[in-house]
Amino acid sequence: MRLFKLFPGKPRLFLGIMVTILSSTLMVAFSYLMMLTVDAALEGERDFFFRVLMAAGVFVVITLVMTYGRTKLIGSYTERGMAVLRERFGAKIAEMSFDVMQKTHSGELLSRGTNDMQRIRNFTFTSLPRLIQIPLTAMLALVLLFIFNWQLTLIALAMAPILIIGSSFLARPIAKASKRVQEKLGRVNSVLTDFIKGAEVVKAYNLEETLGEKNRLYVDESVESGRHLAKRHAVLDAFGRAFGLVPFIATFLFGGYFVIQGTMTVGMLLAFINLLNYLTFPLSTFATLLGETKRDLVSASRVFDILDAEEERKDGKAHPFEMKDPLIAFENVSFNYKGDDKLVIRNLDFQVRPGETVAIAGPSGGGKSTITRLLLGYFDHYEGNIFLGGHEVRDWNLASLRQNIAIVSQETFLFPESIKENLAHGKPRATDEEIVTAAKQANAHDFIAASPAGYDSELGELGNTLSGGQKQRLSIARAILKDAPVLLLDEATSALDLESEALIQEALAEITADKTTVIIAHRLSTIKDADRILVVDEGTIKEEGDHESLLARKGLYARLYERQQDIEEGGVDDESEEERLATATANV
């Protein structure tokens, strides 16, 4: 019912159903013409034989036209509906809450958006018309069979109850088995997605065999589930065909006797056998069809599970952004991820004034990146208050909130399109001159201009045709084009070499001059010029001050900074190599 409510073009579906009903009626009526034709031929009635033959030809033409019309109508209904469903599915992925996205593997989402979508298409285009046509044809055939010879009909159908009950019983586990198959296929897709997205890591760490073994395991599991499902279908099909032969054997035996006795004509017996096929074939295959339908509807439920998933809120106000002091404020904020009772942020309090550059540093896992996610409105289930521009984040409309924030993260995402299109995501209506200016400010213009097609050069998936520094500079250019009053830098240079870092730091220095900037820092040497540095560990602020004052305090920040200096310079501190390695491993 949800599919029918969602799919547009219901008049096409209803008209297709009406054509299906009429087509089924003509198919059954054709058996009556068969009887008249055979009997006329056997009795030598030449004129009547040709008239009936012409009528049969007309029936055939009409049936062909109706079959074409039914296929076109239901096909059109299906494709339009699938377009809407795929559009809703894609929109839902975009609107899904960050929490749900984190818990759902991209391969599983891909499986539901491809395999399960195809099964839904199979249901509306193939299974649905058959679910109408087969029972209707069987019912009409049964009526005509009783008209021809009710005694022979009862004899032929004596085994029908066993066939119906047995088929229904055997079809019952198919839905559960189908769900297992789809789930196993989703796991296979997940591993393949890992292979594709993590290709560089896979090769660098020689993980081909490890992931290959996992892939083989999941494939074997999916094959085993598929075999189990195939076995269920095979038993059901064999049972249906075995008991489907019994009515024909009874018809030949007793029907031949009735012809000898003169109570049936040869034409009537042939028509009876043809009608019996319309009846027994549905009885033997309908349970299989129901099994396939259950499998299709399991796929529909998997797709609707995504459509019903929690999504980001759409309420809140589009507040005008005001440069209030403080511009950003965390007031007694505590937060834990859903499903995990451990607090990532604990009673966090800090403020950022307009135009100020505040860096957040600390050990890995201390909650630094969570702060930026909360500020971007990815999660609402925090305690305390977070203010941006004088308004609580939960009071903001999320689209308006994020319009005031530009972010440059450690893992830059670039779309498989041209460089110009990627940069223009920062400002969709940006002119070519604005795009070039932003690229120059980000120290990206030179390598872009050196590309074969310049700004029209197509990037590969995730921008893998570029170096890390080049991708990061494009990300900065995109942030420059957005020209938001607040800039978030989430470990933007931690994975780069020193040369790339120097170019990016030069670009960042220019754009942070007139912005309110929050920097999540991994490499502490990059935040020496920050107005303030907050040292966060275990979700709370342990230290606060500028670079020099924090070093003079000789606390956590000083220890982290000295350790990084030692690593970068290749020196040896008071710790042994083994102790430093143990400390680094613990931090990881």
pLDDT in tens for each of the 588 residues of the chain? 888 888 988 888 899 889 888 888 888 888 888 888 887 887 778 888 888 888 888 888 888 888 888 888 988 898 888 888 888 888 887 787 877 777 777 777 777 888 888 889 989 988 888 888 888 888 888 888 888 888 877 877 776 666 666 656 666 666 667 667 767 766 666 666 665 555 545 555 555 676 677 777 777 777 777 777 777 767 666 666 666 666 777 777 777 777 787 777 888 878 787 777 777 776 666 767 777 888 888 888 888 988 888 888 888 898 888 888 889 999 999 998 887 788 888 999 999 999 898 999 888 777 888 888 899 888 888 999 999 988 999 999 988 888 898 888 877 777 778 889 888 888 888 898 999 988 888 888 888 898 888 888 888 666 667 877 788 888 888 888 888 889 888 876 655 556 556 666 666 666 666 788 898 887 787 788 888 999 988 888 899 998 899 889 988 888 888 887 776 666 444 344 334 433 443 443
Residue 503: per-residue pLDDT: 66
CA distances to 150, 161, 209, 324 from 391, rounded to whole Å, are 82, 70, 52, 10
Contact 291, 236 (CB under 8 A): yes
Residue 372 DSSP SS3: helix
Per-residue model confidence (pLDDT) at position 588: 36
- Closest listed residue to residue 119, CA positions, set 326, 338, 292: 292
Nearest to 67 by CA among 19, 30, 124, 134: 19
Instruction: Specify the CATH superfamily of domain 320-404+485-546.
Output: P-loop containing nucleotide triphosphate hydrolases (3.40.50.300)
3-state secondary structure of 536: strand
**CB–CB of 26/56 below 8 Å?**
no
Q: How many CB atoms lie within 10 A of CB 133?
A: 18
Report the Cα–Cα distance between both ends of the chain, in Å, rounded.
50
Q: Domain spanning 410-483: which superfamily?
A: P-loop containing nucleotide triphosphate hydrolases (3.40.50.300)
Q: What is the dihedral of CA 42, 44, 48, 51, to 10 degrees?
A: 70
Which pLDDT does position 494 carry in this prediction? 54
CA distance 31 to 267: 10
State the pairing for strand pair 328-335/516-520: unpaired
Q: Which of 417, 430, 427, 429 is nearest to 457 (CA)?
A: 417
Residue 575: predicted pLDDT: 42
3-state SS, residue 270: helix
Cβ atoms of 470 and 442 within 8 Å: the answer is no
d(CA 431, CA 408): 22
User: What is the pLDDT at residue 207?
Assistant: 59
CATH number of 2-307: 1.10.150.120, 1.20.1260.10, 1.20.1560.10, 3.40.50.150?
1.20.1560.10
Q: Do domains 2-307 and 320-404+485-546 have the same CATH topology?
A: no
Return the domain boundaries, the chain.
2-307, 320-404+485-546, 410-483
- The model's pTM: 0.65
Question: How confident is the model at residue 577, as a pLDDT?
Answer: 39
Specify burial of residue 161 (Cβ count, 10 A radius: 0-12, 13-18, 19+). Answer: exposed
How are beta strands 486-490 and 405-409 bridged, if at all? parallel
